[in-house]
Amino acid sequence: MNALVNGAAAQRCADWPALAGAVRGCIACPELAATRRTVVAGTAPAGAALLLIGEAPGAAEDASGVPFVGRSGALLDRLLAEVGLDRAAVAVANVVKCRPPGNRRPTPAEVQRCRPWLTRQLELVEPVLTVLLGGTALSWVFGRPAQVGRMRGRPHVVDGRRYLASYHPSAAIRFGPNGAPLASLRSDLALAAQLLTALSS
């Protein structure tokens, strides 16, 4: 199966549950399909105004089938709560839906093969705002390598959709409690909350 086949399959999905069912059967990436325990399709509460996009499932997500439930997810939940955003009302997806072995970065080929699923997820949610967590998600939207440090802190509109870029929670953990990525992620999520309030009033 290639990206074209995925694209047709993804476009046929009329809603998020249908897409989640279809993506669970995807075997387009032979290595990932052979090593994964679950396919982490993502979560989308009805009427979600905010979509978060990460990179790929880690071990905890692969085990549970739910995005951002490991250490990165715990930090994310805490920061969302701090800025008054309820994780249960937020849609969450990843650039690739299957865990790369050993938590390596997804390859460009894997990102390309998985692209139609996330493209369709964006169409199905039509969020008011999307926050891109880390360089993989940022580059996915811009279609070229892009640096979080240069793009964060202000909204971008791509193909008519509004985005904010920030660091991945794993970077915030790696650089520690006094590191710049945590402070940036916190302020970017606060900005997301402000924008959502402004845009829905």
Distance CA 151, CA 142 (A): 11
Is residue 57 within the footprint of ligand URA (CB under 6 A)?
yes
Nearer to ligand SF4, 28 or 90 (CB): 28
Q: Which of ligand URA, ligand SF4, none binds 116 (CB below 5-8 Å, type-dependent)?
A: none
Expressed in percent and rounded to 5, the helix, strand and coil fractions of the chain are 55, 10, 35
Q: Which of ligand URA, ligand SF4, none binds 33 (CB below 5-8 Å, type-dependent)?
A: ligand SF4
Count of alpha carbons within 13 Å of 126, Cβ hemisphere only? Answer: 5
- Which of 94, 121, 130, 166 lies at the binding interface for ligand URA (CB under 6 A)? 94
Whole-number minimum distance, CB 186 to ligand SF4, in Å?
30
Stretch that binds ligand SF4, among 60-68, 94-102, 121-129, 153-161 (CB under 6 A): 94-102
The strand order across the sheet containing 156-158 reads 91-94, 50-54, 129-133, 161-166, 156-158
Whole-number minimum distance, CB 171 to ligand URA, in Å?
11
Is residue 100 within the footprint of ligand URA (CB under 6 A)?
no
Please tell me whether residue 110 adopts helix, strand or coil conformation.
Answer: helix
Stretch that binds ligand URA, among 6-14, 56-64, 122-130, 155-163 (CB under 6 A): 56-64
Torsion of CA 70, 76, 82, 88, to 10 degrees: -80
